Structure 1
Amino acid sequence: MRLTLCVVGRLRAGPERVLIDDYLLRFDRTGRALGLGPIDVREVEDRKGGGMAAEAVLLEKALPSGAAVIALDERGKIRSSPEFANDLARFRDDGRSDLAFIIGGADGIDPSLRAKCAASLSFGKMVWPHMLVRVMLAEQLYRSASILAGAPYHRA
């Protein structure tokens, strides 16, 4: 199952880039044997300042055709790492060829786009900067692959 991260904003060189690249590489190494991956990152940027509605249009265009979509949103469901790993496995085992995650900009994801998503995921009740959400998602994807592979990375 291919995974796509559709995100608002361009990630430049820096500590977030280093962490994301590291976790995505780890995921690729672990996930491929499990039928997970590769991961494609698609960045969009609203240069005209149209807000959440304009970002939603760009995010929708970036989504792979037919992909199940999960929104990263503060109103989403809070999952444990093993639950998240099981969710990924379920999408894969149900025959999904594409799963996409969307991360909005500073104001979040437009309600019209959120309504079209198969699920919504939250990393807690706190609001996180969208660049850190990328890092956290990349780490959780790697952790999920490790859990599914029975690797010792996740200690719960």
Structure 2
Amino acid sequence: MKIANLILILGLVMSFSSKASLITFSNDSSSYLNGEIIEVEVFINDANPAIDFLEVVWNFDSSLLEFDLLSVTDSVFNNSYFDDAYAVSDELIFQLGLSPNWSSVLGTSFKLGTFSFVALEDGVLSPELTLVEMFAQNFDGDDIDATSVPAPSTLAIFCIAGIIFFRKRMS
């Protein structure tokens, strides 16, 4: 019985994969001079296809960076009814309203666009955006999880089947 429980625990621990963030970034350089434009590409990863509206808030160092604008890709522009990003003090707020059936065109992982910042000092490093909160709603206005719910791992299914087998065998 102890072996069965150990196998279950190990299997479940191994089956939980570290899930990537819903939004990831890629920047054009690692260090910038005063006044340089910093472009940060923004990617959506494994988004819940039921999302109608998404709002994300990040902290950033407003003494080193000034948020300039968000430019979305044409495909996102054509499949959304609203997109905006703006800074309030040291918070960057991003809002996106998606059209019905957006995932059939964009998929659940796609390039959103580019955030542009202005470096306020020499030697500014890549922007570090720290997630404060994320809010998503479906087309009915209900709060939902912003990421897709992954299918159960095959390893977890085998572990559960193994436990059932061991328990029947011991009885």
Same-fold status (TM-score > 0.5): no
TM-score w.r.t. length of structure 2: 0.26
Q: Relative to total residues, which structure has the larger helix share, 1 or 2?
A: 1
Q: Relative to total residues, which structure has the larger strand share, 1 or 2?
A: 2
- Report which of the two structures shows the higher radius of gyration computed on alpha carbons: 2
TM-score w.r.t. length of structure 1: 0.27
